[in-house]
Amino acid sequence: MPENHLDSTQRDATEGTTHDVVILGGGSGGYACALRAADLGLSVALVEQGELGGTCLHRGCIPTKALLHAAEVADNARDGERFGVRSSLESIDMAGVHAYKDGVVGRLYKGLQGLVAAKGITYVTGRGRLAGAHTIEVTTTDGTQVVRGRHVVLATGSYARTLPGLEIGGRIMTSDQALRLESVPDRVVVLGGGVIGVEFASVLRSFGAEVTVVEALPRLVAAEDEAMSKHLERAFRKRKITVRTGARFASASQTDDAVTVTLEDGSTLEADLLLVAVGRGPVTDDLGYEEAGITLERGHVVVDELCRTAVDGVHAVGDIVAGLQLAHRGFAQGILVAEDIAGLSPTPIVESGIPRVTYCDPEIASVGLTEAQAREVHGDVETIEYNLGGNGKSQILQTQGVVKLVRATGGPVVGVHMIGARMGEQVGEAQLIVGWEAWPEDVAALIHAHPTQNEALGEAHMALAGKPLHAHG
């Protein structure tokens, strides 16, 4: 892939310049802040030690979703006879899969580089460290460079967590290494049943591996509504993915031929690969944050509703701020900070209003409060589950699932939770419903195209409004 470079003239100019904004980290939150700030006429410097685009573009959102699409193609080839198409799956060519995935990443990377260059953003390649409220020290291939700004935005992202005593290497890996698998393993244990774990479990099963998911909590995707967890576990069982919930990891050992996972109950699992997917942690160590007066809690930077830290002129966005670890949250926070610096008085982001999608098969998409959260906030709630069995497009796609709505009794819809094929594409309207505090009757009055998956969202609201069509009242 191409790299970003500054020539010596640009570097020298940067040394003597105080920018309006200096951003440490070129991932989703960092580059979004840079692009918006430049659009607002601010002078911007962006410091990144790796590749522009960060985890999302190179090790997260984009490459993993490319793998998931390749997995969907594999399933379609394998199951073609269900649709009267005599197709078969010969094998998975991982070199070809990587070529497709890397091609997608490469094109987006090139486009992002062009955007940064076109907007006149000063790009500095090197490891940056906060050296004061308005100063970033950058270790580059040419030595140490100082970049100054009236405002500093911290956007250093996250890393793949592991567990104490569990060494990554060989047959034990995180999602970072799993993105480069040279062949499909026969047996895989996925440690962690959150978003990353179930997405990789889905991919590997579609590629032909026997997969066991081990999760310490009582259910998969525990941050989602409990109904979504139950439907996903049922779907995984149908796909012959073994799920072990309430199972705590004790240790792992490996040989040249296999890895053995031991759980706290004494049971063991043997596999060709152990994929550790226990979440991501904030990259804040040894970056000068605390020395500069930045408050950290469990490694996360503490900020107010406008992403301002306790140090005047220093802001933080993305995965280093506690909350949802989502690229689109980072984008939104980066834009918010740029507009705040420019004096535009932006509206704070409501965390519960951020849409969430887990791209396993079947997909989970949600926005707003779970039923349990809604009961804590509103007391009395009404819920309804519209089964996709009544949706024509779902029957065409041969998918199963539900749309679950959570409503404050006598009030607006406060949560939308969906599981089934392509449900991620429906979350946009769901966000509008929750964000604009729509009542079921408001949505029921809208006409949804037939036959579409989107129609299921409309019918769920019709049912909750007391006038079900393709559902029992």
Provide the token pair at 422: 């392509």
* CB distance 369 to 334 below 8 Å: no
Radius of gyration (C-alpha) of the chain in whole angstroms: 24
Instruction: Look at residues 49, 361, 339, 354 and name the one whose alpha carbon lies nearest to residue 205.
Output: 361
Cβ atoms of 368 and 352 closer than 8 Å:
yes
Q: Which residues are the active-site residues?
A: 450
Task: Look at residue 13 in the predicted model and tell me its pLDDT.
Answer: 39
Distance CA 379, CA 373 (A): 9
Ramachandran bin of 429, using left for φ above 0, alpha for ψ from -120 to 50, beta for the remaining angles: alpha
d(CA 60, CA 325): 11
Q: Residue 400 and residue 167: Cα distance in Å, rounded? A: 39
Rounded CA gap, 156 and 282, in Å? 8
The rounded distance, in Å, linking the Cα atoms of 135 and 207 is 48
Return all residues near 446 (Cβ < 8 A) that are at least 6 apart. 458
- CATH class of the structural domain 8-58+98-159+281-352: alpha beta
Output the pLDDT for position 472. Answer: 67
Which structure tokens are listed for 355?
């849409």
As a dihedral over the C-alpha atoms of residue 199, residue 204, residue 205, residue 211, rounded to 10 degrees, the angle is -90
Find, among 67, 65, 74, the residue nearest to 92 by Cα. Answer: 74
Residue carrying the six token digits 């010969």: 90
Task: Find, among 219, 222, 175, the residue nearest to 197 by Cα.
Answer: 175
Q: What is the pLDDT of residue 2?
A: 38
Q: Is 473 exposed, middle or buried (0-12, 13-18, 19+ CB in 10 A)?
A: exposed
State the residue for tokens 């792992």.
252
Tokens matching residue 354: 């951020």
pLDDT of residue 16: 58
For 405-444, where are the alpha helices, taking DSSP H only? 427-435, 440-444
Are 92 and 182 contacting, i.e. CB atoms less than 8 angstroms apart? Answer: no
- State which fold the 362-464 domain adopts: Enolase-like; domain 1 (3.30.390)
Tell me the average confidence (pLDDT) per consecutive run of 10 residues in the chain, 473 residues long: 37 64 98 98 97 95 97 96 95 97 97 97 96 93 93 97 93 96 97 98 98 98 98 98 97 96 97 97 97 96 98 97 97 98 97 97 98 96 96 95 97 98 96 97 97 96 92 67
Q: How far apart are CA 435 and CA 59, in angstroms?
A: 31
Mention every residue, 6+ apart, whose C-beta is less than 8 A from residue 78: 87, 88, 89
3-state secondary structure of 123: strand
CA distance 184 to 142: 42
Q: Are 95 and 108 in contact (CB under 8 A)?
A: no
Cβ(203)–Cβ(179) below 8 Å: no
The C-alpha atoms of residue 152 and residue 292 are separated, in whole angstroms, by: 12
Q: Using alpha carbons, select from 251, 264, 277, 94 the residue that is nearest to residue 188.
A: 277
DSSP secondary structure of 307-357 = SB-SSTTEEE-GGGSSS---HHHHHHHHHHHHHHHTT--PPPP-GGGS-EE
Class of domain 172-278: alpha beta
CA-to-CA separations, 150 to 14, 132, 317, in angstroms, rounded? 14, 11, 17
76 CB burial (10 A radius; 0-12, 13-18, 19+): middle
Q: What was the pLDDT predicted at 15?
A: 55
Give the pLDDT score at 469: 87
- Structural contact between residues 367 and 430, judged by C-beta atoms closer than 8 angstroms: yes
Judge whether 8-58+98-159+281-352 and 362-464 match in fold: no
> Which pTM value belongs to this model?
0.94
Give 362's DSSP letter. Answer: S
Task: Write down the domain spans for the chain.
Answer: 8-58+98-159+281-352, 172-278, 362-464
Q: Is 24 helix (H, G, I), strand (E, B) or coil?
A: strand
Residue 473: what pLDDT?
57
In contact, 27 and 54? CB cutoff 8 Å? yes
